[in-house]
């Protein structure tokens, strides 16, 4: 008995001595990157070196302008390595591109063009899968564009815009696929769940505008007047702006920074708030009207103000896309279970963000349309989303 317990004790001691060694050897392999940008940079290095014609072909298929053909299948097959890297980045929260903020408006953003192309590759891959009849894989690829768009970034205004553009292409692809899979209730239920949970936060312009504000305030200084002159004259009205800059002094610059900062803070409050689209648009318009075109202070502040009305509209259109997609899945699910499209819009569906009311629902000969009830005040148009049901 004594001997047995001695063996037990020595066994435990040995095991406890061996454990750190065993776990240390397990730790020898470093983990995969936790920064999605590192994976995307590898994707850029492994994406096929396609010529312009092939890249255009991929873009056309991604945006639905051209059907999937053998050539595009070959192109996409060559991009498989890049697609794998993008897939690996999907679940990562962090995405730091190593952007050189210190360079201000002159900072280069080479990743944006590459990300745009990679987005086209991914969406084209979705369309290839759909043409093979694998709708689930195709829709999953579209869902992947949620985190992808977030990774493109909401850290500068321009990366926010590219993120929105990428997301829009993904929604358009999803819109064309939902109708094709309209008879598959199981698939639609899965998609409904995924859209509610895994799609992630949409790109949001607030962080981007805050960073933009800091960059602009830093640029509006006498010690950077030459750079500022170049930036302002790049944007047109050369003579006028050159004249104003000739008058620039510390006092004017300080005042311009104050005006710019106040306007941006007011705009951020409007954009971050929950005001209806029309009201938010009106408030932003009023902010712009306060600026006097003949005052050097307000002209300088205005020159660096981003197109806030466009930002508001883009944000709202993106929300409309997301909500229409979710509503369409519910409508198609109704059809899958009852065998026909509902006569009227079912209750409890997401609302049109332009008006805050239900989407206008209309059955067509090929499927159905979800139409916004509020107008896009920038383009003076009504957005609608058409779904062709198979």
Partner 1 sequence: MSEHKDERWLDQQLRRAVNGSRPAFDAESWKGRHRDEYEALLARRERPSRGRARLLSGRWIAGLAAAAVVILALGMLLLGRFARGPEKPTTPSRPVANSAAEMMSMMSLRMAYEQGGFDALDRQLQNTLDEFGPRSSSVSLQELF
Contact stretch for partner 1 (CB under 8 A) within 38-46, 66-74, 261-269, 320-328: 38-46
**Look-up: residue for tokens 């999803």?**
174
Least CB distance to partner 1 at residue 81 (A): 7
In the DSSP assignment, the letter for residue 202 is P
Least CB distance to partner 1 at residue 47 (A): 5
Structure tokens at 234: 């790049």
Binding mask of the shown chain, residues 159 to 178, with x at each position contacting partner 1 by CB under 8 A: --xx--x-------------
Number of Cβ within a 10 Å radius of residue 104: 16
Least CB distance to partner 1 at residue 104 (A): 8
Question: Which of 2, 22, 32, 49 touches partner 1 by CB under 8 A?
Answer: 49
Region 291-310 residues binding partner 1, contact defined as CB under 8 A: 306-307, 310
3-state class (DSSP) for residue 354 = coil
Question: Which of 37, 39, 47, 245 touches partner 1 by CB under 8 A?
Answer: 47
3-state class (DSSP) for residue 171 = helix
Question: Which of 68, 88, 137, 158 touches partner 1 by CB under 8 A?
Answer: 158
Nearer to partner 1 by Cβ, of 314 and 331: the residue is: 314
Does position 113 interact with partner 1 (CB under 8 A)? The reply is yes
For the four alpha carbons of 86, 90, 92 and 94, in that order, the dihedral sign comes to positive
Question: Which of 36, 37, 38, 50 touches partner 1 by CB under 8 A?
Answer: 50
Least CB distance to partner 1 at residue 99 (A): 9
Does position 256 interact with partner 1 (CB under 8 A)? The reply is no
Comparing C-alpha atoms, which of 249, 261, 260 is closest to residue 225? 249
Region 304-343 residues binding partner 1, contact defined as CB under 8 A: 306-307, 310
CA pair distance 222, 138, nearest whole angstrom: 54
Nearer to partner 1 by Cβ, of 120 and 385: the residue is: 120
3-state class (DSSP) for residue 294 = coil
Half-sphere exposure (Cβ direction) of 209: Cα atoms closer than 13 Å: 25
3-state class (DSSP) for residue 389 = coil
CA pair distance 331, 385, nearest whole angstrom: 13
CA pair distance 390, 387, nearest whole angstrom: 10
Structure tokens at 284: 């932003």
Question: Which of 34, 69, 74, 106 touches partner 1 by CB under 8 A?
Answer: 106
Q: Which residues bind partner 1 (CB under 8 A)?
A: 44-50, 52, 55, 59, 78, 81, 104-110, 112-114, 116-117, 156-158, 161-162, 165, 215, 231, 234-235, 306-307, 310
């Amino acid at each position: 008995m004594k001997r047995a317990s001695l063996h037990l004790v020595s066994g435990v001691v040995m095991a406890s001595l061996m454990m750190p060694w065993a776990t240390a050897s397990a730790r020898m392999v470093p983990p995969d990157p936790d920064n999605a940008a590192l994976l995307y940079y590898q994707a850029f290095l492994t994406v096929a070196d396609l010529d312009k014609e092939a890249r255009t072909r991929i873009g056309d298929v991604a945006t639905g302008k051209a059907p999937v053909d053998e050539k595009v299948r070959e192109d996409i097959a060559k991009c498989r390595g890049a697609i794998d890297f993008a897939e690996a980045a999907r679940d990562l929260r962090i995405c730091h591109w190593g952007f050189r903020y210190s360079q201000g408006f002159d900072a280069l953003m080479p990743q944006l063009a590459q990300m745009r192309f990679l987005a086209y590759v991914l969406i084209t891959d979705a369309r290839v899968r759909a043409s093979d009849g694998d709708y689930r894989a195709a829709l999953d690829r579209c869902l992947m564009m949620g985190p992808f768009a977030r990774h493109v970034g909401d850290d500068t205004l321009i990366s926010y815009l590219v993120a929105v553009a990428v997301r829009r292409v993904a929604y358009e692809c999803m819109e064309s696929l939902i109708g094709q899979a309209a008879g598959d209730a199981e698939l639609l239920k899965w998609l409904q769940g995924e859209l509610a949970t895994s799609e992630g936060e949409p790109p949001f312009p607030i962080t981007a505008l805050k960073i933009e504000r800091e960059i602009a305030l830093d640029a509006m200084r006498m010690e950077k007047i030459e750079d500022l002159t170049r930036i302002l004259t790049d944007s047109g009205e050369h003579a006028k702006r050159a004249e104003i800059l000739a008058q620039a002094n510390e006092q004017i610059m300080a005042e311009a920074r104050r005006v710019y900062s106040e306007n941006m803070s007011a705009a951020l409050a409007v954009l971050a708030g929950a005001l209806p689209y029309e009201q938010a648009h009106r408030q932003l318009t009023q902010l712009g009207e306060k600026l006097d075109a003949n005052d050097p202070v307000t002209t300088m502040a205005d020159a660096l103000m981003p197109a806030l009305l466009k930002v508001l509209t883009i944000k709202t259109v993106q929300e409309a896309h997301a909500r229409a997609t979710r509503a369409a899945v519910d409508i198609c699910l109704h059809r899958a279970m009852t065998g026909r499209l509902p006569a009227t819009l079912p209750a409890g569906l997401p609302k049109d963000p332009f008006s805050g009311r239900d989407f206008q629902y209309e059955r067509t000969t090929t499927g159905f349309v979800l139409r916004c009830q509020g107008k896009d005040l920038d383009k003076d148009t009504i957005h609608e989303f058409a779904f062709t049901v198979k």
